[in-house]
Amino acid sequence: MKFGKIEKILKNIPHTPPEDGKILYDFIIENKCNNILELGFENGTSTCYMAAALDEIGSGKILTIDRKETIGIEPDIHALLKQTNLEKYVEPIYAHNTYIWELMKIIEEQTETRECIPIFDFCFIDGAHTWDVDGFAFFLIDKLLKPGYWVLFDDLNWKFAESHTLKNTTFVQNMPEDEKKSAQIERVFTLLVSQHPNFINHKIVNRWGWAQKKQSKFKTTEKNQTVVDLLYLKQSIIPDIFMILRKMKYKLKHVLKIFS
Ligand SMILES: C[S@@+](CC[C@H](N)C(=O)[O-])C[C@H]1O[C@@H](n2cnc3c(N)ncnc32)[C@H](O)[C@@H]1O
């Protein structure tokens, strides 16, 4: 499916905006990703952008995991997949509690004589946004991601203290100040991913963190320009301008609300 077509359907649905959808879409096509893992789908917007890329390639599968609480949200992933006719590329899994448990099951399935055989050629993490859950998810993903392929973290700058939906909940109010005010995914990326001996070519762009799993224990050459660098070089600046305008509109709306 061409990007313009999927963008038209998804542009007003949270959470992935079209400019990020385009990067996911181009990345998957250029790297011919075939077996994708996504942690956190909510409405299924990012999933559909990735599935549209698989449709363009002509094959592939996305295993995407969220909590059962997302069943029936408006629109839900099944409705979006049906509307876009991309159902055959996606397998949504509803975890009872957390994707961490589902990852254990995948590792179990992939284990042959005490070794976990990696299966995914791209992992997109956009779920809990916490040190404990996503920090651990990263170590599990290390076991499942094929050498040479990429992991991508969303929301490196996200903080509980700034979340409109969560900051006033008892759970967040009772949190220690540093935990509340820390960008926990940025901590995961800087302290775990960037320091991990299996990962190279770390790159932070806006709120996204990319890292590539090393080809093998013996090949450690870091390229000057990775596929991710080239991907960003190829992007048009028009979506960036739209993103800035959208942010200005959002801020202006809030300022006007305060003064009215
Ligand atoms: C920001 S939303 C995902 C948005 C989606 N990737 C997109 O861009 O369209 C984060 C999702 O992660 C899910 N989530 C958070 N913690 C989780 C956990 N421990 N296990 C499973 N899902 C989790 C939430 O239910 C929520 O739907």
Ligand 1 proximity of 49 Cβ (cutoff 6 Å): no
| Cα angle, residue 151 at apex, residues 181 and 131 outer, rounded to 5° | 25
Task: Return phi, psi of residue 150, to 5°.
Answer: -115, 150
Mutate to test the pocket of ligand 1, among 6, 7, 66 (most ligand atoms within 8 A of CB): 66
Cα gap 55→77, rounded to integer Å? 17
Ligand 1 proximity of 48 Cβ (cutoff 6 Å): no
Could you give the number of structural domains in the chain?
1
> Which residue CA neighbors atom 18 of ligand 1 most closely?
98
CATH number, residue 80: 3.40.50.150
Ligand 1 proximity of 98 Cβ (cutoff 6 Å): yes
Report CA(197)–ligand 1 centroid distance (Å). Answer: 28
For each of the chain's 260 residues, which pLDDT tens digit applies?
999 999 999 989 999 999 999 999 999 999 999 999 999 999 999 999 999 999 999 999 999 999 999 998 999 999 999 999 999 999 999 999 999 999 999 999 999 989 999 999 999 999 999 999 999 999 999 999 999 999 999 999 999 999 999 999 999 999 999 999 999 999 999 999 999 999 999 999 999 999 999 987 555 555 667 899 989 888 878 877 877 888 788 788 878 887 77
Do 51 and 3 touch, CB atoms closer than 8 A?
Answer: no
> Which residue CA neighbors atom 14 of ligand 1 most closely?
127
CB atoms closer than 10 angstroms to residue 229: 15
What pTM value is reported for the model? 0.90
- Structural domain range at position 107: 3-259
